């Protein structure tokens, strides 16, 4: 482990501060003795290089967390491939290039577990990157995130930049996107099961067979891991962030059903794509550094549902 990097007295930019991950980072960093820099589309268009350069020149960040991204589930990735590839490439390229040029002290880039091959050995180690074909249902997003990792490594190699990257597993928590078609699995299931409960529907249809296995991490745990890595990690290789535990989609759906208090049936639409058969992260490198996830799935889902109910008018509009 290297000497810790201190955030005390630093100006810290959370790129993408209005998203689910960015919001969690803001909540976590509010407990640190630093000055937070927030952004938003009303302040800066991260897909435009001139806008990013002007923003960074004005705000002068010392440390940066790159949580900004265009994200979505299988449906969104399949229907908007150009948007997912172009927008994410532009966002990461503009931020990393500008931060390298002005000499930002340290930067953490957030990728995704979808960067790994569809048939990667399980649990997935960091060295599985680029060893096989990607899952077709999210390859556009994955390719953009792989490019971001490689940009971090390239700026380190050519310019000596202290740029690191972290690969979170599937996330859920406050600030999630509950769009009926473009959301990820946790949000899509939570909304669908809640609406079935409210309407008295006898069943909820779950996409796919229910057999794929996934790992789920509460977004506040991810934020805590990011702050930990900013302090204690300085390596060029990406590092996985997760729980190291997985469960089937059917078991996950049943846990959400229990959380919501829905008593109807869950049925499975096998015409819909399953995606990767199994995806669980090997988090031993992060564990060896001294960090582990704290939020149990049932505890996390209870808080997730409470937040959903509190913000239901906005998130289902």
- For the cut 70, the answer to whether the pLDDT of residue 2 exceeds it is no
Q: Which residues are catalytic?
A: 141
For the chain, which domains are there?
A: 11-172+216-244+280-295 (3.40.50.720)
Q: Which of 180, 191, 159, 136 is nearest to 305 (CA)?
A: 191
Per the CB < 8 A criterion, the answer to whether 141 and 270 are in contact is no
- Give the C-alpha distances (Å, rounded to integers) separating 314 from 27, 190, 193, 252, 310: 20, 15, 18, 25, 9
- Label residue 76 by pLDDT band (50, 70, 90): confident
Q: Token pair of 166, please?
A: 């972290």
> pLDDT digits over 171-213, tens only?
999 999 998 877 889 999 999 999 999 999 999 999 899 999 9
Q: Is the peptide bond before 123 cis (omega within 30 degrees of 0)?
A: yes
Calpha distance 158→97 (Å, rounded): 12
72 is in an annotated binding site: no
Give kind and range of the element (H or E) at residue 13.
Answer: strand 11-15
Q: pTM for the full model?
A: 0.95
Calpha distance 182→73 (Å, rounded): 6
Handedness of CA 296, 299, 73, 254 (dihedral sign): positive
Calpha distance 104→108 (Å, rounded): 11
Residue 188 CB-half CA count within 13 A: 17
Per the CB < 8 A criterion, the answer to whether 139 and 117 are in contact is no
The 10 Å Cβ neighbour count of residue 80 is: 17
pLDDT greater at residue 180 or residue 133: 133
78 is in an annotated binding site: no
117 is in an annotated binding site: no
Calpha distance 22→5 (Å, rounded): 20
Q: Are strands 247-248 and 213-214 parallel, antiparallel or unpaired?
A: antiparallel
Which DSSP symbol is given to 160? Answer: -
- For the cut 60, the answer to whether the pLDDT of residue 316 exceeds it is yes
- Label residue 304 by pLDDT band (50, 70, 90): very high
168 is in an annotated binding site: yes
- For the segment 2-12, the average pLDDT, to the nearest whole number, is 92
295 is in an annotated binding site: no
71-85, 99-113, 169-183, range with the lowest pLDDT: 71-85
> At a CB cut-off of 8 Å and minimum separation 6, what does 203 contact?
196, 264, 265, 266, 267
Which DSSP symbol is given to 128? Answer: G
């Amino acid at each position: 482990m290297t000497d810790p990097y201190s955030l005390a007295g630093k100006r810290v930019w959370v790129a993408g501060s209005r998203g689910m991950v960015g919001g969690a980072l803001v909540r976590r960093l509010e407990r640190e003795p630093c000055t937070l820099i927030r952004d938003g589309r009303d302040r800066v268009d991260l897909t435009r290089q001139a806008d990013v350069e002007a923003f960074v020149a004005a705000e002068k960040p010392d440390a940066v967390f790159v949580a900004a991204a265009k994200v979505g589930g299988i449906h969104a990735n399949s229907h908007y491939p150009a948007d997912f590839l172009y927008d994410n490439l532009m966002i990461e390229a503009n931020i990393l290039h500008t931060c390298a040029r002005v000499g930002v002290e340290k930067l953490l880039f957030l990728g995704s577990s979808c960067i790994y091959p569809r048939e990667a050995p399980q649990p997935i180690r960091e060295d599985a990157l680029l060893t096989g074909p990607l899952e077709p249902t999210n390859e556009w997003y994955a390719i953009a995130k792989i490019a971001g990792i490689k940009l971090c490594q390239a700026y380190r190699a050519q310019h000596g930049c202290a740029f690191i990257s972290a690969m979170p597993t599937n996330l859920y928590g406050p600030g999630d996107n509950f769009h009926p078609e473009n959301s990820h699995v946790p949000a899509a299931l939570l909304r669908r099961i809640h609406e079935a409960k409210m309407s008295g529907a006898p069943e909820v249809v779950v996409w796919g067979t229910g057999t794929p296995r996934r790992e789920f991490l509460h977004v506040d745990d991810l934020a805590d891991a990011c702050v930990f890595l900013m302090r204690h990690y300085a390596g060029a290789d990406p590092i996985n962030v997760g729980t190291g535990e997985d469960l089937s989609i059917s078991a996950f759906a049943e846990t959400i059903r229990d959380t919501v208090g829905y008593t109807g049936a869950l049925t499975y639409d096998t015409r819909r794509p399953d995606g990767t058969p199994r995806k669980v992260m090997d988090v031993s490198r992060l564990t060896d550094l001294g960090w582990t996830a704290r939020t149990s799935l049932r505890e996390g889902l209870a808080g997730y549902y409470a937040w959903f109910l509190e913000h239901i008018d906005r998130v289902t509009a």
